[in-house]
Amino acid sequence: MNPRILFAALAAVSLASCGGGGASGGNSVAAAPVAAKPAPAGQNWTEVVSKTPEGGYRMGNPDAPIKLVEYGSRTCPTCGAFGQTGQKPLTEKYVTTGKVSYEFRDYLVHGQPDFAPSLLGRCVDPSTFFPLLEAMYMAQPQFEAKLADQAAANALQASLQGKTPSQAAAAWGDYLGYVDFVKQRGIPEAKARACIADSKALDELIGLMSKGEGATVTGTPTFILNGTKVEGVSWPDVEAALKRAGA
């Protein structure tokens, strides 16, 4: 990993924040209703998941006329609130119709604490990407309790001076409990640690941040609907935008 790229990316993160992603944008003019499109025989659109050229993971009809992209952090409580309240109705009510696709792009808003959960969340087959994302958000309070312990978190951060990004990711993954969390969900420890140590995968995550900056991402979560930033960060905000788009 190029240290200058990492430094620049983390400097950009310091300007972003959790819960500050939905500043402006959106369209108040309602579009005409979009027609539903059946999934391929024997499938549900929620089972159609693939990695996108941009580096995110997309669920649903790849040709859906309404494309929702979320830039989110797995350690961000506002993102967690959306995951806990919005992911299920988004998928069950909208993605299943074939009208809407939903793509999630990890955004390292908290820097090093985000490394391990993001790397581990992408350490699975695409078919289990979104179930694991939802599980991480549902269990987020247990991880947030560790982050809230400022004395312990600061001591860990101080101990990581001079360590490589991969070493920092492993240390935070163990401290926050993400390694044990994914082990309990079928990811062998050896695989989990190999994913955390994958510098190319971390480079890809840093690249996602650069794409997010180009999409006016200033915090997480940020939602982009058909290329336009959604006003607000809650499920009601996103649902209202989907309805205006014809979903």
- Residue 167: alpha-carbon gap to chain centroid: 22
Q: How confident is the model at residue 19 (pLDDT cuts 50, 70, 90)?
A: confident
Q: Which pTM does this prediction carry?
A: 0.90
Pairing status of strand 66-72 against strand 222-225: antiparallel
Domains by residue range for the chain, with CATH: 56-244 (3.40.30.10)
Quote the mean pLDDT of the chain: 90
List, in sequence order, every residue forming a beta bridge with 57; answer none if it has no partner. Answer: 51, 104
- Tell me: the pLDDT tens digits for 226-246? 999 999 999 999 999 999 999
Asked if residue 25 lies in contact with residue 229, where contact means CB atoms within 8 angstroms, the answer is yes
pLDDT in tens, 52-81: 999 999 999 999 999 999 999 999 999 999
8-state DSSP, 34: P
SS3 for 51?
Answer: strand
* pLDDT grade for 193, boundaries at 50, 70 and 90: very high
Quote the pLDDT of residue 18. 87
- Model pLDDT for residues 109-134, shown as the tens digit of each residue: 999 999 999 999 999 999 999 999 99
Q: Sort residue 37 into left (φ over 0), alpha (ψ -120 to 50) or beta.
A: beta
